[in-house]
């Protein structure tokens, strides 16, 4: 049915389109011929004014007298320039932009209007033309003022059989572009071999007769199918004669310009095509309405399934391919429901296992403490009891008892910052009793004492500072503990002035913190602290170590300003 209806429509469309193109082309060529005459008047005026101005300036007695005077004193030149402006001596038409006199004579004092001929000018083709005759010559030169290329008319200045100079009249590109034509038209004209294109108004020095376009011919009028400026269209060429010189004009009409002629015929063509399309659609709808309704119903049910609604009923009673699609859709829904249920159960089991593993790992990590400190402290108490047997020893035993009680009572729950700092201070006092004046410490906190913190976060860092930092020092060991606010964080800094670490050891420690490596048995305490913080608060929190060998080490804990309770799992 589609072929029966649309093939005649297509054939008729081709016939109408071909007829419209022929009609439009004929009318456009007739219009272009008429506009070519109008364009020739405009160009003739520009050319006539330019050649007349250049010839008049070349025969000006004041200019000739000045060029042949041969002044010895530069002041004579300056006097002439102050009393005789060149644009006053030469009356310029509206289309002209500037006038210059080019001179090449030793001892001559030049100005902005009387300019020295350069090497490029003396070797140009247009200079050879103008210096060998008396007529005007068209050229493309660089304007000394605007420093851009301009279309110009040159005329020789003759005096007693010699040429003391050349008059050059330059023309404004904007004046040339203001040709009274429709905006869609493009045009070119050639003046003694110099070509100007309206679509490329910035004239370049290479546009001379050696690059003469092929569309210029010797015919008075010429119509042709062109491809100018990359646009298909039609054009005409016309020869014009101005004075003693022959010039040519080419006018181009792109296909878009002639499209307006199609509007009238498009109504007939569009109406015919619309009628054929409507009839075709009516016939197609008549024979396919039932089929389309079933397809639409199936599509709606599939959209519901895609949106997650599996409660879809099927009541199609056909026995064709659409019925098979309904059966496949029903089977697919059953399989999808089974997969979703299986995936949901597997996900619940995985989350339960993951939570159990994290909880067990957290307890295992937080329960570790280095017994090295307990052994050394007991040895210190034993020695002091043996030597002194006084109140100091009793006080040490009391502090050690509190410390061990806190270790034994350690649980996963958070404690206050005040409690954690008191526990750390007890550890420091025991170590100070052990090392005496060799060790000093300072604790500063601007954070509220009720701030909740994980237990055993600060003491392992202080222990690390003793063991790896100041314990080996002979004197002057110092440990500073600072707890401060910083934006949305709480910083806990533990700094010592001990041995520090080399860059290699620091990188090794940073790697252990990154991967939570405790396999080597070294730095287990601070690695556990870092991992506990990240397991509890998230991976954006944790520990950072900075150290300079021979100067000391600083460990910073970054905690949330408003801590959230419960494991976050990174």
Residue extents of the structural domains in the chain: 19-265, 367-560
Q: What is the pLDDT of residues 514-537, one digit of tens each?
A: 877 655 555 567 888 888 888 888
Burial class (CB in 10 A: 0-12, 13-18, 19+), 554: middle
Question: Quick one: pLDDT at residue 570?
Answer: 40
The DSSP-derived string for 309-325 is -----------SHHHHH
For residues 212-217, average pLDDT: 57
Residue at token pair 């806990």: 492
* % of the chain with per-residue pLDDT over 90: 13
Q: Is the pLDDT of residue 242 over 60?
A: yes
Q: What is the pLDDT of residue 393?
A: 67
pLDDT recorded at residue 363: 52
In the CATH hierarchy, which top-level class contains the domain 367-560? alpha beta
Residue pLDDT, tens place only, 355-393: 655 655 555 555 444 555 655 665 666 666 666 666 666
Instruction: Pick the more confident residue, 514 or 230.
Output: 514
Taking only the tens place, the pLDDT of each residue in 434-483 is 777 788 889 999 999 999 998 888 988 988 888 877 776 767 789 999 99
Q: How confident is the model over 123-170, as pLDDT tens digits? A: 888 888 888 876 888 888 888 887 888 888 899 999 888 899 999 999
- Confidence (pLDDT) at 209: 39
User: Residue 239's CB: how many other CB atoms inside 10 A?
Assistant: 17
- Band (544; pLDDT cuts 50, 70, 90): very high
Q: What is the rounded average pLDDT for all residues in the chain?
A: 76
**Residue 385 confidence (pLDDT):** 64
Say if CB 36 and CB 249 are below 8 A apart: yes
User: pLDDT > 70: what percent of the chain?
Assistant: 66
User: Per residue in 17-74, pLDDT tens?
Assistant: 677 767 766 777 677 777 777 777 778 888 888 888 999 999 999 999 999 888 888 8
- How large is the average pLDDT for residues 173-195? 70
Main-chain phi, psi angles of 431, to 5 degrees: -65, -35
What is the rounded distance in angstroms from the CA atom of residue 340 to the CA atom of residue 69?
108
């Amino acid at each position: 049915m589609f072929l029966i209806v649309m093939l005649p429509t297509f054939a008729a469309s081709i016939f109408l389109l071909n007829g419209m193109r022929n009609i439009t082309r004929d009318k456009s060529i007739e219009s272009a011929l008429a506009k070519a005459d109008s364009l020739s008047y405009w160009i003739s005026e520009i050319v006539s004014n330019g050649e007349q101005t250049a010839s008049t300036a070349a025969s000006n007695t004041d200019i000739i007298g000045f060029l042949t005077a041969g002044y010895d004193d530069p002041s004579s030149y300056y006097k002439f320039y102050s009393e005789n402006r060149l644009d006053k001596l030469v009356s310029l038409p509206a289309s002209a932009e500037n006038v210059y006199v080019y001179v090449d004579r030793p001892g001559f004092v030049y100005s902005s209007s009387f300019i020295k001929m350069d090497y490029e000018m003396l070797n140009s083709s247009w200079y050879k033309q103008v210096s060998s005759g008396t007529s005007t010559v068209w050229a493309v030169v660089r304007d000394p003022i605007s420093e851009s290329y301009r279309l110009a008319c040159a005329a020789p200045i003759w005096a007693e059989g010699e040429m003391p100079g050349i008059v050059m009249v330059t023309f404004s590109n904007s004046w040339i572009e203001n040709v009274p034509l429709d905006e869609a038209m493009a045009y070119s004209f050639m003046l003694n071999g110099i070509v100007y294109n309206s679509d490329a108004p910035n004239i370049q020095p290479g546009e001379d007769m050696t690059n003469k376009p092929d569309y210029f011919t010797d015919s008075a009028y010429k119509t042709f199918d062109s491809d100018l400026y990359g646009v298909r269209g039609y054009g005409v060429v016309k020869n014009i004669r101005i004075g003693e010189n022959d010039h040519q004009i080419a006018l181009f009409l792109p296909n878009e310009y002639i499209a307006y002629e199609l509007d009238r015929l498009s109504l007939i063509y569009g109406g015919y095509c619309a009628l054929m399309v409507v009839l075709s659609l009516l016939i197609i709808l008549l024979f396919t309405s039932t089929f389309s309704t079933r397809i639409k119903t199936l599509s709606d049910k599939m959209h519901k399934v895609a949106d997650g609604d599996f409660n879809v009923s099927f009541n199609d009673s056909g026995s064709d391919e659409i019925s098979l699609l309904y059966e496949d859709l029903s089977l697919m829904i059953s399989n999808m429901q089974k997969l979703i249920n299986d995936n949901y159960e597997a996900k619940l089991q995985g989350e339960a296992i993951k939570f159990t593993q994290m909880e067990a790992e957290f307890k295992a990590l937080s329960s570790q403490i280095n017994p090295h400190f307990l052994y050394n402290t007991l040895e210190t108490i034993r020695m002091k009891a043996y030597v002194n047997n006084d109140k100091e020893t009793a006080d040490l035993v009391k502090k050690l008892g509190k410390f061990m009680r806190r270790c034994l009572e350690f649980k996963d729950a958070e404690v206050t910052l005040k409690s954690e700092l008191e526990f750390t201070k007890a550890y420091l006092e025991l170590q100070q009793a052990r090392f005496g004046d060799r060790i000093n410490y300072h604790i500063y906190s601007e954070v509220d004492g009720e701030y909740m913190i994980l237990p055993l976060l600060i003491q392992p860092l202080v222990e690390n500072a003793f063991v790896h930092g100041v314990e080996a020092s002979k004197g002057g060991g110092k440990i500073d503990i600072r707890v401060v606010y910083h934006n949305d964080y709480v910083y806990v800094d533990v700094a010592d002035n001990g041995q520090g670490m080399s860059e290699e050891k620091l990188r090794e420690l940073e790697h252990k913190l990154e991967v939570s490596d405790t396999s080597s048995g070294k730095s287990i305490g601070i690695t556990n602290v870092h991992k506990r913080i990240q397991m509890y608060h998230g991976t954006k929190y944790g520990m950072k170590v900075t150290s300079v060998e021979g100067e000391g080490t600083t460990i910073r804990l970054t905690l949330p300003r408003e801590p959230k309770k419960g494991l976050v799992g990174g």
